Every structure is written in structure tokens, then in C-alpha cells.
Amino acid sequence: MSEKRVFFAGGAGFIASHTIPILLERGYSIRIFDNMRRGDRARTERFIAESGGRVELVEKDVTNGGPVREHMAGCTHVIHFPTMSINKSVADPHESVYLNMIGSNNVFAAAADEGVRRLVFASTASVYGNPAKLPMHEDDELAPLTPYCISKRACEDLLGFYQRERGLSWNALRFFNVYGPGQRVEAYYTSVINHFLQRLRAGEPPVIDGKGEQSMDFVHVHDIARAVVAALESERGCSPINIGTGVDTSVATLATLLIDAVGVDVEPRFNPRDVLVARRAADIGRAREMLGWEPTITVEQGMADLVAATEPVAVGSV
Ligand SMILES: NC(=O)c1ccc[n+]([C@@H]2O[C@H](COP(=O)([O-])OP(=O)(O)OC[C@H]3O[C@@H](n4cnc5c(N)ncnc54)[C@H](O)[C@@H]3O)[C@@H](O)[C@H]2O)c1
């Protein structure tokens, strides 16, 4: 058995698909634990076929504690990703809270019992709610607004419980607006990319509500994947850590970036109306300090790469 084995819950999804190659490079074996509800089966089978026995798939659900415990055996590290989208969590709070709380508790408890070296949990920038100031710092007040974000925040607290009671070592990464190849089209925060691209590819200008001042901190999925592995291996743990670029990109700027990347001769069209100007940018000082992590892909580069990808962009997730 490999010395380093990751129990990767939600390991058949979007961010996982960029994380697995880095884990393999670093000598881990990977036990993907995924119910395949949103997982990519073809991609997962490719990883299994090409890894020389170092990637396996356990097709089970994290809300069932027995299988989680059984398959945690022999694992040295844990990554915990299963979730449902923000939109779905509003429509079905029960299912979202059940998955995020019961499923997460099953994984956290089994990881603590197994005595794993580190657990990395995917949290979200949405735990801050609408920030009072930028950049957003980990010690700012949290005001999560939806069942998805409320339960993500509760999971961070639950990790603190397993740390105090059972010595679990963890990091909770607060991902900002993740984008990149392989994402699904129904992304909540990043769907604007897909929307603009679809129009540009049809030769139509992007349509922006208001002045396009609302902004996001777009962070490329490759940099997210690097952060996940850094958080798995860092000397220091037991903290929430922002993972973004620190740059807030307005919707108007995004439209210009995508127009340039697609190379069409159009101007964005503004739809004058009052919009709530929400802005986002991460303070990434803690990620630098604790993980030695830096983003490497600028939003200009990342958007250009996305457009250059042969397939029409599929943006998605939560
Ligand atoms: N993508 C983003 O923009 C973003 C932003 C902030 C936080 N996050 C967090 O990052 C994590 C990964 O996101 P992603 O975009 O890769 O999501 P994804 O939906 O692509 O992957 C999640 C995986 O979990 C699996 N899964 C769902 N329910 C399960 C269950 N009950 N048991 C076992 N497996 C289950 C799905 O089949 C899927 O393969 C999530 O926790 C998400 O909340 C993502």
C-alpha cells in the first residue's frame, strides 16, 4: 500500500479533476468516494485507467456513515468536497443541510478515528455574506445567507470540535469565484462568464445590468487545486484560509476581457437599472503565510485560456 493515501470525498467533481493530477505527481494514492450524482464518470475512469492502480472509485454516499468509516481505513489524508449548489440549497434546505452537516460529520468523525494527518475541507467565500469592506479577511464577521453557506460555516466550527476533542488536524479553504475548464454551465457565481461567452460566440454584445460595478474575485481552478494540496501538506493547520487572487474584477471589466479573448468587435451593452453592487476580493495574506501559496494565473490569462479551450466553455458548480 502507498504510504500516502487520500480519502477524496467528492473526488469525481470539477475541482477534484484538477487536484488529482497534482496528488498523483506528489506520490499519493487516491480513494475517490463519490456517489457520482454530479461526478464525471468518463473522466474518473480515465484517472483509474492511467494511474497504474493508484486511483480507485468507491461509489457511495457520504451521508451513510458505515461505508465512510469502512473506506477511510488505511487513509492518511482526507479531502472533503461533496456539496449541492447554492440555488438548490435555497430550494431544498433540508437536503442541503443534511448533506453538508450529516455527510461532513461522518467524514470528520471517521477521519478523527483513523488519525489522519490532515483533512482539507472546501468552504466558501459565501460564509462572509455581503462583505462590509474589501479585501475580505478570515477574521471578519461572518454572515452566511443561505442553507449552503450557513452549513459550510457550521462545518468549519465542527472541525474545531474534532480538533479540540480528538486532535483532528484540518484546514478549511474559503474558495472565492472558481472558474476554469471542466466546470458545469449552471455555476452560481461564475455563470456570468458562460453567459457572456455564449453571446460573444454568437456575435452578440454582452448585456450588463446597471453599470457593471459588481465584482468578483475570479480564481483559476488550477490555482485552487494547488491550494488544496498545499493545505494538505502545510506544517500549520486548523484554520479557515481564503483562496482567491485578491483582485476584484468588475462585471464590466470581465466583459471587456472576454471580448478581447474571443476577438470580436463589439461593445458591452448596458441595461440601465438599479442593481445591488456586491463586491468581492480576498485578503490572501493567510494563504501566503500558512501555505506558502500564491495565485499564478491572472484573470486576463485565465479567461484567455478558457476561451482558447477547444470546447465551448462549460462553466459550473457552486
Ligand atoms: N466551484 C466553485 O466555484 C466553488 C466555490 C466555493 C466553494 N466550492 C466548494 O468546493 C467543493 C467542490 O466544488 P466542485 O465545483 O468541484 O463541485 P462538484 O459538484 O463538481 O463536485 C462535487 C462532487 O461531490 C459528489 N457528491 C455530491 N453529493 C455527494 C454525496 N452525498 N456523497 C458522495 N459524493 C457526493 C458529486 O457527485 C461531485 O462529484 C464543494 O464543496 C463546493 O462547495 C466550490
CATH code, 203 = 3.90.25.10
CA dihedral 233, 234, 235, 236 (to 10 degrees): -130
pLDDT of 219-258, one tens digit each? Answer: 999 999 999 999 999 999 999 999 999 999 999 999 999 9
State how far the Cα of 133 lies from the Cα of 131, in Å rounded to an integer.
5
Could you tell me where the beta strands, DSSP code E, fall in the chain?
5-9, 29-33, 55-58, 77-80, 118-124, 170-175, 177-179, 207-209, 215-216, 218-220, 239-243, 249-250, 269-271
CA 74 and chain centroid, separation: 26
* pLDDT-based confidence at residue 313 (cuts at 50, 70, 90): very low
Is residue 110 included in any domain, yes or no? yes
The cell for 36 is: 457520482
Q: What is the pLDDT of residue 42?
A: 97
pLDDT tops 60 at residue 59? yes
For residues 66 and 200, membership in a common domain is answered with no
Q: What is the pLDDT of residue 187?
A: 63
Residue 143: CATH number of its domain: 3.40.50.720
Q: What is the pLDDT of residue 311?
A: 53
Q: What is the pLDDT of residue 194?
A: 87
For residues 31 and 168, membership in a common domain is answered with yes
State how far the Cα of 193 lies from the Cα of 315, in Å rounded to an integer.
7
Is residue 313 included in any domain, yes or no? no
For residues 206 and 159, membership in a common domain is answered with no
Share the mean pLDDT of the chain: 93
The number of folded domains in the chain is: 2
CB distance 82 to ligand 1 below 6 Å: yes
10 CA distance to ligand 1 middle (Å)? 6
Place of cell 470540535: 161
Q: Which residue has the higher pLDDT, 284 or 277?
A: 284
CB distance 206 to ligand 1 below 6 Å: no
CB distance 35 to ligand 1 below 6 Å: yes
pLDDT tops 90 at residue 314? no
* pLDDT-based confidence at residue 273 (cuts at 50, 70, 90): confident
Task: Identify the residue whose C-alpha is closest to ligand 1 atom 32.
Answer: 61
CB distance 269 to ligand 1 below 6 Å: no
Nearest atom within ligand 1 for CA of residue 179: 3
For residues 208 and 83, membership in a common domain is answered with no
For residues 226 and 204, membership in a common domain is answered with no
Quote the domain boundaries for residue 108. 5-177+219-243
Lowest mean pLDDT of 79-88, 96-105, 141-150, 151-160, name the range: 79-88
For residues 198 and 237, membership in a common domain is answered with no
* pLDDT-based confidence at residue 272 (cuts at 50, 70, 90): confident
The cell for 107 is: 467524514
Alpha helices in 14-146 (DSSP H): 14-25, 41-50, 65-72, 86-91, 93-97, 104-114
Element (H, E) at 201: helix 191-201
Nearest atom within ligand 1 for CA of residue 190: 3
Average pLDDT over every residue of 18-27: 98
Is residue 153 included in any domain, yes or no? yes
Q: What share of the chain is helix, strand, coil (3-state, %, to 5)?
A: 40, 15, 40
Is residue 316 included in any domain, yes or no? no
Is residue 288 included in any domain, yes or no? no
Is residue 291 included in any domain, yes or no? no
For residues 196 and 110, membership in a common domain is answered with no
For residues 86 and 230, membership in a common domain is answered with yes
Residue 9 near residue 79, CB atoms below 8 Å? yes
- Angle, vertex CA 270, rays to CA 206 and CA 263, nearest 5: 30
pLDDT of 198-226, one tens digit each? Answer: 899 999 999 998 999 999 999 999 999 99
Q: Which long-range contacts (C-beta less than 8 Å, at least 24 apart) are formed by 128-133?
A: 128/174, 130/278, 131/279, 131/280
Q: What is the pLDDT of residue 317?
A: 38
CB distance 239 to ligand 1 below 6 Å: no
Average pLDDT over every residue of 161-190: 89
Q: What is the pLDDT of residue 141?
A: 96
Is residue 100 included in any domain, yes or no? yes
pTM reported for the whole predicted model: 0.95
For residues 270 and 167, membership in a common domain is answered with no
For residues 111 and 162, membership in a common domain is answered with yes
For residues 75 and 209, membership in a common domain is answered with no
pLDDT tops 90 at residue 71? yes
* pLDDT-based confidence at residue 274 (cuts at 50, 70, 90): confident
For residues 52 and 89, membership in a common domain is answered with yes
Residue 27 near residue 76, CB atoms below 8 Å? no
Cα-Cα end-to-end distance for the chain: 35
83 CA distance to ligand 1 middle (Å)? 5
Is residue 290 included in any domain, yes or no? no
State how far the Cα of 232 lies from the Cα of 236, in Å rounded to an integer.
10
